[in-house]
Structure 1
Amino acid sequence: MPYPVPPSRLYPPRTAREVFRVRPLRLLEEAFRKSPGVVLAAGAGYGKTSLAAELPAVYVSLAEEAKDPAVFLWHLLAAYENRAELVPVRALLEAGAWPKALEALLEALVPLGAHYLVLDEAHRAESPGVVRVLQGLLRLPGLRLLVLSRKAAPFAFLTVFSERELAFDPEEACQLAKALAPELPAFEVERALSLVRGWPLGLRLVLLAMRKGLRPELALESAEGLLAYLGQALPKEVLDRASRLALLGEVDEEEGAFLLPYAEDLLLERREGRIGFHPLPSRGLDHPVLDEAARAYLEERRRGLLQSPRPEDWLLALRLDPLDESALARLRGTALYEKGLRLRHKAEAELEGD
């Protein structure tokens, strides 16, 4: 049975282009002269996707279901559609013979010659079967495989570029500052770069905060500092709706349209017709809307959701506190009970891991 790959996974998202990253692109070019495969292994906000978008590449973004090597190969078939003769590969996949399908795919791609293949969000599809497919792909003459991942394992058999190589240098920081806050003097930009240790998204946050008069030390000293920037002059209704969005993770673009005029202040991004917060790396900074200034509101919201007659609201309350027995009990006997159990089991597993 063919796996339907959403078309949106076959094109890199549009990202800001204030900085042309000559240095890391040169490093990539040098790495590919020595190795057919490179992994950019860094947290969110290091510009992995933006950097890959500079290359004339076949692109595919992976999801968790691609952990299955057969589903992963369906993704590759969708990415190479109309570029190669893939009918034999498709037939083998439909028959469930993914190892043979891999060999047929390699044979079908030989006529393409030298080209780039970018696999974005590869950490989501981590599995031994996928690693086996990647190792097979490296046998393809002329292929330059670029893997984008939040972590190097299990892709360390490739040449690894980490946060150190992807961090902004002073020249790149100045380019970003000229685009976002040209009024800032060079020494302030250098100070901000030092505070965030080259983290591109962190530098963007600090520069925007400084543009509004906030000291860079305060912007990174605590979540309250970022809140002072993000929440500055925003109406309470906006913050209330942003808190709900933060709980849900993302919503349909139509539902979140009210917040779009405040996208820069709230670090919102569009994702395939939906809206969500930009994922901040784990650097002691939760998303500001979820931090101290919002916690009292969220607890009040949780209690209110439990009084609602709607199971959807009870599930939302359980998202706030997955270990809350009362929220799970209310879901018992509803169509959402299984989802509630999954939330509970995930929370318990995380506690055991700690």
Structure 2
Amino acid sequence: MTGPEEDESPVAGGRADPRGDPFLRTRFAVPARPATYLRRERLTRHLDQALTTPLTMVNGAAGAGKTLLVADWAARRGRLPVAWLTADAAGDGPGVFWAYLLRALRTAGVPLSAGIGAPAEASRVGPALLVRLAAELSGRERPVVVVLDEFDRVTAPEIAEQLEFVLRHAGPGLRLVLVTRTEPLLPLHRYRAAGELTEIRGAELAFTPHEAARLLDLHGLRLPPAAVRALVERTRGWAAGLRLCALAAGQSPDPELYLKEFEADRSTIADFLLAEVLKRQEAGTQELLLRVSVLDRFGPGLANAVTGRDDAEAALARLSRENAFVEHLGHGLYRLHPLFAEILRAHLRMRRPGAEPGLHRTAAAWLRRSGALAEALTHGAAAGDWEFTAGALIDDLAIGQFFTGPRSDTTAGLFAAMGRDGTGPAQELVRAAGRLARCDVDGALAHLRRARHDLAEHDGTADRAAARLSCALLEALAARLAGAPDRAEDAARTAEGLWDAVPEQLERHPEIPALLLDHLGSTRLWAGRFEEARAALSTVAECAPGAVTALVREDALARLALIDQLDGWPGRAERRAREALAETERFGLSPSAGAGVDRVVLAAVAVDRDEPGRARALLDASAESHPALRDPVLAACRALTTARLHLARGDPGAALRAVEEEVRADVASPWVQGETALVAAAAHLAGGRARTAAGLLARVPDDQVACAVEAARVQLAAGRAAAAVRLLDRVRPEGRAGPAVTVRAALVRARAADEAGDGAAARRLVGRALAEARRERLRRPFAEAGPWIRPYLRSEAPHRPAAGRPAPCFGPSRREPPPPVVEELSGRERDVLRRLALTMSTEEIAADLYVSVNTVKTHLKSVYRKLSVNRRNEAVRRARELDLL
């Protein structure tokens, strides 16, 4: 018997197609996989479903890896015959197509009877042949798999109808797999509805970072995960792009650098995409693709604007359907594959030199009319048209985007390329905003003067209201950064007079009034007008939450927390500071975009609670704040808190340096001046310079209760008990300030009573101080008090712990009366204590801290002494009672 290959009868099809041409054996060959082919099990498992559904479609762009995926899968189907047919580029007529398909079946070893016949004409096929073929396939015990590769080349509708007829009537005897760039003309909706269609599309074909790393490894390239992710992002996981990049990178002395910096238009990727995608399109579509390449995302209206045509909608929909590297994003928006766009832009510059700026300018104008300001600014900047771009920003009242919101970095970066040549109020205001965003007050003021001069030359207010309001906002910020409250008040009054002229812009930009009030509140806080500051900042804190106002709300809440902390309410300050931190965190803003004051407040609370390690970490984190919010309030508070931390650690010299280096002697803020004098006085006292310390008290304002109490404490430490008590009697902090102030005031009076020999009064005052301190977990006031307080602390009975957690305890337990911790644990002692609580052995602690066992034992002895305990478990229990763990 002769096999299929030897069958030359005309009825069976012979060795020639209906045109008389010999069959091309390459069209029946399953493509070979290269040595670097990566088998992706997730796709082959999905493709296995092709054996359970009549129809399978693998649909993706050129180079997506469709053919190799199906070829690899087909080569592993040893139990079933797989007939492979690659469609002809020239396009087959129905007769030629079916002649080739019958030949493919026989080549795969599928026995077909001679009674099926063969097409006699190239352009048609008789229905009898299709009926006989379907009937013969339906009688098979095991199905035959037919793979039609490059099926998008089959353009004759009748072939799709005939194929669907055979597929439907062949039943379980045929499994059809279509490999295509476009959706075939078959009634896919019926197969989907019946659950009889297996689909693998472009998104699933895209390589994941893990798969890309394995593919690069097959090419001998091992890259860091970040480099692989960047390559996958740039190629969108496109298989051909990854393989071509890997081949090119393999020839480079530095593959990682090559893949990071390669120019797509100068690579083999460009040749592939130009040949396989661009040149397959007719001339008008090629021109459309070249022109829209300057756009990131675009709809038909914008595409029509930059191309000068009116049929972009149909063209874009067709290109998307054909997987021509035009992706439909939904809602009528499209985008090009990033590599394709990059290559098209290079091709545009070559074919249409100088056209790119004009296309950007056209896009910018269209987008501005459509209300898409962000995209309009991007294209205006790309066109180099700074008059248009700055004007659009200012007229829309979007100047606040330099300082707050998710686009602040983008906006600042966009205008960084603007030169100094352009004039006019809009460009001067933008330059001023850029300077202020970098905390350059002097440079900003020069631009603001020129902007005011230009605006003064225009008659009327309404037509330039947005520019005048932007100018007032920037002047308020400049006043804030310079610590000039009067100038900030003037700017605020000017701005308020312009609100009614720009209602639509204000509705779009709620950050503008929020920023203005935040600047105003901060300058009032600097001036020591706490209640006025609270009023302005509370209005900001209560504004509607949103990404554009998150940073401003955080700053306002943080400064309200600072007022609470300065007034002696650490618990309230802590809660508000944490609320401030949560404001930016919930909108995904980075810590470097934060206000910074919230962390300084938490650090100050940590100092009062004798938690120096936590205070240091918070102070370090507060340095990472938005440059435009690094005003004198933040700088002074960081310096003062740092100085108090140094005092708590027993380093008065460092405390003096902290305030002398960061706070000017002629500072205009009364409370900062007073707090600085108190820190300096405390440092001089610790150094034994009582006279110098007392001389500094003249700079302490009496109207600030917290400052007055601190001054009384310094007076007492300098040996002036009567003067200290008189000062407390005059300011009467009780009822005017919070526990952090009143506890210290009570301890000053207690020490004065102790020195006067009135032990009963001293004991009563210490007891009152302890009761208040427990609620706020205040420890530092007792550590500062000195040795005289120890007998009074020992005599105090403990309070019952609150439910849920042990209360901080400054007195002894009922069973054993250890005194409270007055001498602070060092940072390393705390490290040892934390590991002790984890039941680590001495050797394990030494290994974990990279120190010797003897060093750990020394630290343990010190911890036991300071906690007044003798054993490990007692140390841990005592530490928990004192909230040290």
**TM-score category of the 2 structures, normalised to the smaller one:** 0.5 to 0.7
Return the offset for 1:170.
Answer: 2.7
Hey, what does 1:11 align to over in structure 2?
Answer: 29
Return the offset for 1:209.
Answer: 4.2
Hey, what does 1:351 align to over in structure 2?
Answer: none
Asked if 1:170 corresponds to 2:195, the answer is no
Taking the TM superposition and a 5 Å limit, the aligned residue runs for 1:109-148 are 109=137, 110-111=139-140, 113-138=142-167, 139-140=169-170, 141-148=172-179
Asked if 1:29 corresponds to 2:48, the answer is yes
Hey, what does 2:56 align to over in structure 1?
Answer: 38
**Among 173, 179, 183, the residue aligned to 1:152:** 183
The amino acid across from 1:136 in the alignment is F
**Among 322, 340, 348, the residue aligned to 1:285:** 340
**Among 203, 207, 216, the residue aligned to 2:259:** 216
Asked if 1:226 corresponds to 2:257, the answer is no
Shift in CA distance, 228/63, structure 1 to aligned 2, threshold 3 Å: closer
The amino acid across from 1:216 in the alignment is L
Counterpart Cα distance in 2 of 1:176 and 1:14: 17
Return the offset for 1:174.
Answer: 1.9
Indicate if the aligned counterparts of 1:65 and 1:125 stay in contact, CA closer than 8 A.
Answer: no
Return the offset for 1:27.
Answer: 1.1
Return the offset for 1:79.
Answer: 0.3
Counterpart Cα distance in 2 of 1:86 and 1:65: 30
Return the offset for 1:163.
Answer: 0.1
Residue 213 of structure 2 aligns to a residue whose secondary structure is helix
**Among 114, 117, 121, the residue aligned to 1:87:** 114
Shift in CA distance, 18/160, structure 1 to aligned 2, threshold 3 Å: closer
The amino acid across from 1:49 in the alignment is T
Shift in CA distance, 18/42, structure 1 to aligned 2, threshold 3 Å: same
Counterpart Cα distance in 2 of 1:285 and 1:172: 22
Taking the TM superposition and a 5 Å limit, the aligned residue runs for 1:256-275 are none
Shift in CA distance, 39/230, structure 1 to aligned 2, threshold 3 Å: closer
Deviates more, 1:40-49 or 1:61-70: 61-70
Return the offset for 1:100.
Answer: 1.2
**Among 80, 84, 95, the residue aligned to 1:59:** 84
Give the aligned length. 246
CA deviations 1:266-295 (Å, max 9, x no partner) are xxxxxxxxxxxxxx964463997xx75996
CA deviations 1:311-352 (Å, max 9, x no partner) are xxxxxxxxxxxxxxxxxxxxxxxxxxxxxxxxxxxxxxxxxx
Asked if 1:161 corresponds to 2:161, the answer is no
Counterpart Cα distance in 2 of 1:97 and 1:183: 55
Quote the RMSD (CA, aligned, Å): 3.6
The amino acid across from 1:161 in the alignment is I
Hey, what does 2:679 align to over in structure 1?
Answer: none
Shift in CA distance, 154/293, structure 1 to aligned 2, threshold 3 Å: closer
Return the offset for 1:196.
Answer: 1.3
Residue 148 of structure 1 aligns to a residue whose secondary structure is strand
Return the offset for 1:111.
Answer: 3.1
Structure with larger RCO (C-alpha < 8 A, sep 6+): 1
Taking the TM superposition and a 5 Å limit, the aligned residue runs for 1:246-265 are none
Shift in CA distance, 161/126, structure 1 to aligned 2, threshold 3 Å: farther
The amino acid across from 2:143 in the alignment is A
**Among 90, 107, 112, the residue aligned to 2:135:** 107
The amino acid across from 2:199 in the alignment is V
Residue 179 of structure 2 aligns to a residue whose secondary structure is strand
The amino acid across from 1:193 in the alignment is V
**Among 220, 230, 238, the residue aligned to 1:199:** 238
The amino acid across from 1:22 in the alignment is E
Counterpart Cα distance in 2 of 1:85 and 1:229: 48
CA deviations 1:9-60 (Å, max 9, x no partner) are 0012223253012111111223543x21011111111111111112132100
The amino acid across from 1:197 in the alignment is R
Residue 183 of structure 2 aligns to a residue whose secondary structure is coil
Counterpart Cα distance in 1 of 2:342 and 2:166: 38
Query: TM-score normalized by structure 1?
Result: 0.59
Residue 111 of structure 1 aligns to a residue whose secondary structure is coil
Residue 108 of structure 1 aligns to a residue whose secondary structure is helix
Asked if 1:2 corresponds to 2:18, the answer is yes
Runs of 4+ that moved beyond 6 A: 293-296
Query: TM-score normalized by structure 2?
Result: 0.25
Give me the identity figure in percent: 26
Return the offset for 1:130.
Answer: 1.4
Return the offset for 1:98.
Answer: 2.3
CA deviations 1:64-91 (Å, max 9, x no partner) are 5554222211111110125223422335
The amino acid across from 1:8 in the alignment is T
Hey, what does 1:235 align to over in structure 2?
Answer: none
Q: Which runs of 5+ in 2 are unaligned?
A: 1-16, 190-196, 280-322, 326-336, 352-885
Indicate if the aligned counterparts of 2:144 and 2:173 stay in contact, CA closer than 8 A.
Answer: yes
Shift in CA distance, 22/294, structure 1 to aligned 2, threshold 3 Å: same
